[in-house]
């Protein structure tokens, strides 16, 4: 038994939650948010699911836990998290490319991959969907998923202009799913984000070279021509678009409904019609020194991905 996992990879604040929620409107696709954080933010911290109910009380995730493990209580969350951190780090990408060269690492990887296989197969069975959309984004997790036997992996490498990402990451944004004390999404100075943007995207560009089907998609293209871009993503996932599949996607907006997603941008809690437009606030709000620093750090990939200094405001 296998399930197709459409993995959205890239940097945070690049539109992954928007893409995932658009795909959720297509029959046969189920969005699950950032599965990489399910163990800590879902099981351990019991944060809010996208449906507005806490993870352990959500009927969908309760059924998934029962199907995968006989109930979430069968897992020792601390042990699972420790196992994950022993195999899923940026520093382990080389090991994930050739794990048999490190026998101890390979044994741990097989243990964690077996857990993920049970999890993704259960999501597919409980939802009845043919494609599970995972917006975890992390590059190392994309390489890890290549080793999950029951997963047919398809990657969407989502890219947003580095200046837009850097400006967005520098802003303080509350995480509404956190229960109790207020929590905020991670912030970082623009230069630090620019370096991460360069490194993560360079690593993700390796995926096709190692045999993993990956489709590069620009956030700006998604927002400006959503039907065409979503059609390309559906074809990449192996379920080509039909008129019915795209009828909820307009060129200027999309109708969103409730989804069972774990972690992600606050957009995952919005329902109803959402306007699609490029967020180009960085053009007006980003300090000149920060803009120059981001350009200096990321210009090689900006050119590779088709971004030009003279691009007009979107």
Q: Which residues contact 245 (CB under 8 A, 6 or more apart)?
A: 26, 27, 234
- Phi/psi at 132 (5° precision): -100, 125
* Residue 245: per-residue pLDDT: 63
Of 93, 70, 80, the C-alpha closest to 44 is 80
Of 243, 223, 219, 220, the C-alpha closest to 231 is 243
Which residues is 214 bridged to in the sheet?
155
Is 169 in contact with 186 (CB distance < 8 Å)?
yes
Q: Which residues contact 25 (CB under 8 A, 6 or more apart)?
A: 248, 249, 254, 255, 256, 257
Query: CB burial class (10 A; 0-12, 13-18, 19+) of residue 300?
Result: exposed
Tokens of 5: 């996992």
Q: What is the pTM of this model?
A: 0.95
Tokens of 74: 């069968």
Place of tokens 């350009």: 295
CA distance 12 to 219: 12
Is 145 in contact with 116 (CB distance < 8 Å)?
yes
* Residue 312: per-residue pLDDT: 44
Is 68 in contact with 124 (CB distance < 8 Å)?
no
Number of other residues whose CB lies within 10 A of the CB of residue 1 = 8
Digitized pLDDT (tens) for each residue of the chain, 314 residues in all: 899 999 999 999 999 999 999 999 899 999 999 999 999 999 999 999 999 999 999 999 999 999 999 999 999 999 999 999 999 999 999 999 999 999 999 999 999 999 999 999 999 999 999 999 999 999 999 999 999 999 999 999 999 999 999 999 998 888 888 777 777 788 899 999 999 999 999 999 999 999 999 999 999 999 999 989 999 999 999 987 666 667 777 778 888 999 999 998 899 999 998 989 889 999 999 999 999 999 999 999 999 999 986 454 43
Pairing label, strands 131-137, 29-31: parallel
Across the chain, how many H-helices and E-strands are there?
A: 13, 7
- Phi/psi at 80 (5° precision): -65, -45
What residue spans define the domains of the chain? Answer: 3-160+218-276
CA distance 158 to 17: 11
């Amino acid at each position: 038994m296998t399930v197709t996992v459409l993995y959205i990879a890239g940097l945070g604040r690049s539109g992954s939650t928007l893409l995932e929620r658009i795909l959720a409107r297509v029959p046969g696709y189920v969005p699950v948010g950032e599965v990489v954080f399910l163990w800590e933010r879902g099981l351990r911290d019991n944060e809010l699911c996208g449906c507005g109910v806490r993870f352990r009380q959500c009927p969908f995730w309760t059924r998934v836990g029962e199907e995968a493990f006989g109930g979430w209580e069968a897992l020792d969350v601390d042990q699972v998290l420790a196992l994950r951190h022993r195999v899923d780090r940026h520093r382990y990408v080389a090991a994930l490319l050739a794990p048999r060269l490190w026998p101890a690492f390979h044994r741990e990887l097989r243990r964690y991959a077996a857990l993920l296989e049970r999890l993704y197969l259960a999501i597919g069975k409980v939802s009845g969907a043919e494609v599970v959309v995972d917006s975890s984004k992390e590059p190392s997790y994309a390489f890890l998923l290549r080793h999950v036997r029951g997963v047919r992996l398809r990657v969407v490498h989502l890219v947003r202009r580095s200046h837009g990402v850097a400006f967005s990451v520098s802003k303080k944004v509350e995480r509404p799913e956190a229960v109790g004390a207020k929590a905020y999404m991670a912030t970082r100075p623009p230069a630090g984000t620019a370096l991460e943007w360069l490194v993560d995207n360079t690593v993700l560009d390796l995926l096709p070279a190692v045999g993993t089907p990956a489709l590069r998609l620009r956030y700006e293209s998604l927002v400006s021509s959503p039907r065409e871009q979503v059609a390309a993503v559906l074809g990449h996932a192996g379920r080509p678009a039909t008129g019915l599949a795209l009828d909820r996607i307009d060129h200027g907006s999309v109708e969103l409904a409730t989804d069972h997603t774990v972690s992600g941008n606050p957009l995952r809690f919005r329902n109803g019609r959402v306007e699609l437009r490029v967020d180009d606030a960085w053009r007006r709000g980003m300090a000149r020194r920060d803009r120059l620093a981001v350009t200096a750090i990321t210009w090689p990939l900006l050119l590779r991905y088709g971004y030009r200094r003279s691009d007009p405001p979107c």
